[in-house]
Amino acid sequence: MSKGTEISLNMFDKKGKEKKVLESSGNIILKSRNAVQIGETPAKIVLGKENFSVFPENQGIYLFSYREVIDLIPADYQLKLLFDKKELVISKLGYQYEDFVRIFVKLRNETILKDLLFQETLKKAGLEAEFSYFGAGGALKQQGKAEFRFYQTSLAVLPESGELIKIPLSDVSETKTDNFQIEISMEGGEKIVIAKLGEKFDLFKEALRGCLNELSLNVQNFVKGIWPEIDFSALNEISLLIKEGKATSKKAIEAVSPDLFKKLEAALMKTEVKEEYGFLKSQGKQDKSDIGFKKGLMGKLTGDYFWFFIPVCGNAVAFETAGEKETGRATYFFRAGAASQTDDLIKKINRGLSAINFRREPIYLPEEKLEEPEYAKYKFSMAKIPEIKLMRELFIGRIIHKDDKQWQADVKKLLEFNVKGRVI
């Protein structure tokens, strides 16, 4: 590592102005919609905490946000940055190339991570090791050195050169340790193998176990809150089935405990969404409904909440949350295909919601609105998380709850249009 290229923790001066993290000289090429906007020319590139600037010789100044970078490809001593409608190639960085790429990747991953986590509590950081990340089919997707951070509901992997990986801890299906390696398998088939932790091997194991245990305890506390007299063995079995942040089907819950689903329904009927739940049950397939639970990320400020999915009218799925504080109430509807595919669709929608910590703007905001600065935090999610793309494709509409009569009438109208194949 070159001297003087470490990232400073203090990125701002006393007046709050963003400090430079790194300044380099090289050449750039800027393309816009496959047309060359700036041919190869010398330029100064300045990396800040959330933005980077390019100063081509005699051609003005260009400011970019790391959030805008959809993909980055370091190869042949060049760094190619791909945007929605632009492409920037940085080359001829000389001896600074490796440090420039490493720091650029770190700054981009830090920005994206902040957007994705939405104020989750950091549990453990500074754990560095080598990793291999495998996709659902077993193919190697990424490998190299990375920093690992444990958050309230997620494990974040920040590679030195590569894409940020966020693993919801509720997706973890199995963990193994062998020959000082830790293998984490996910329910979707993905797997990550962590090696060369050195003296931090036990610390990593302890942090992973602690976070997983905390999620399990959250579920047990939630279940005991709605079913105080539940016996220990049943509670243990239920906590293996229900995962915080993931909806579970009525069929699966009743297979473990027929009484639990009744308790969950009774709890829902004590919330502000009792009218919505009762009405949607009357319109939909009750045996196909799913219910999920999530602990609030900001304690008493946000509150704990749970949600439900119900297939309605044969070709739609309704989604609603209960228990959130200081948020407007609305029911969201998605177009569904064959009945046999509904369970898989609900899992995908839940996965997409979990990836953005159940924020709903990426579902319903139009493309032009998402280009506004306040929604820039969703750019990475929109481009990289397939389940969010799927939600937007299948989104029919949302019905805001002002009063019960108005809400029911609007729901019926929306579903009638959907049955007829009309675009809303």
Q: What local confidence, expressed as pLDDT, does residue 417 receive?
A: 76
Q: What local confidence, expressed as pLDDT, does residue 189 receive?
A: 92
Mean pLDDT, residues 167-194:
93
Cβ(277)–Cβ(308) below 8 Å: yes
Res 273 pLDDT > 60: yes
Among candidate residues 84, 110, 136, the one where a domain is terminated:
110
Q: Are residues 266 and 359 in the same domain?
A: yes
Q: Are residues 100 and 179 in the same domain?
A: no
The CATH number for 32's domain is 2.30.29.30
Neighbours of 321 (CB within 10 A): 21
Residue 272 burial by Cβ neighbours in a 10 Å radius (0-12, 13-18, 19+):
exposed
Residue 322 burial by Cβ neighbours in a 10 Å radius (0-12, 13-18, 19+):
buried
Q: Are residues 163 and 103 in the same domain?
A: no
Q: Are residues 408 and 361 in the same domain?
A: yes
Res 229 pLDDT > 70: yes
CA 239 to chain centre: 23
Cβ(115)–Cβ(378) below 8 Å: yes
Domain extent at residue 37:
22-110
Task: Note whether residue 337 is domain-resident.
Answer: yes
Task: Note whether residue 184 is domain-resident.
Answer: yes
User: What's the rounded Cα separation, in Å, for the pair 109 and 174?
Assistant: 26
Q: Are residues 138 and 202 in the same domain?
A: yes
11 against 308, higher pLDDT: 308
At 40, the pLDDT band (50, 70, 90 cuts) reads very high
- Which range of 9-13, 297-301, 322-326 scores highest in mean pLDDT? It is 322-326
Task: Note whether residue 362 is domain-resident.
Answer: yes
At 313, the pLDDT band (50, 70, 90 cuts) reads confident
Q: Which residues face 45 on adjacent strands?
A: 24, 54
At 11, the pLDDT band (50, 70, 90 cuts) reads very low
Cβ(346)–Cβ(247) below 8 Å: yes
Task: Note whether residue 101 is domain-resident.
Answer: yes
Among candidate residues 68, 88, 110, the one where a domain is terminated:
110
Task: Note whether residue 4 is domain-resident.
Answer: no
Domain count across the chain: 3
Q: Are residues 286 and 306 in the same domain?
A: yes
pLDDT tens track for 53-109: 999 998 889 999 998 898 999 999 999 999 888 999 999 999 999 999 999 999 999
pLDDT tens track for 355-395: 887 888 889 988 888 888 888 788 778 888 888 889 999 99
Task: Note whether residue 2 is domain-resident.
Answer: no
Mean pLDDT lowest for which of 26-35, 220-229, 412-421? 412-421
Q: What local confidence, expressed as pLDDT, does residue 134 receive?
A: 96
Mean pLDDT, residues 248-255:
91
At 17, the pLDDT band (50, 70, 90 cuts) reads low
Q: Are residues 346 and 369 in the same domain?
A: yes
Q: Are residues 41 and 161 in the same domain?
A: no
Average pLDDT, the chain: 86
Q: What local confidence, expressed as pLDDT, does residue 298 receive?
A: 42
Q: What local confidence, expressed as pLDDT, does residue 52 receive?
A: 96
pLDDT tens track for 322-348: 866 545 689 999 998 776 688 889 999
Res 217 pLDDT > 60: yes
Among candidate residues 110, 145, 175, the one where a domain is terminated:
110
pTM: 0.83
Q: Are residues 371 and 399 in the same domain?
A: yes
Straight-line distance from the first to the last Cα atom of the chain, in angstroms, rounded to the nearest whole number = 55
Cβ(336)–Cβ(330) below 8 Å: no
Residue 301, both tokens: 């400020």
Q: Are residues 34 and 143 in the same domain?
A: no
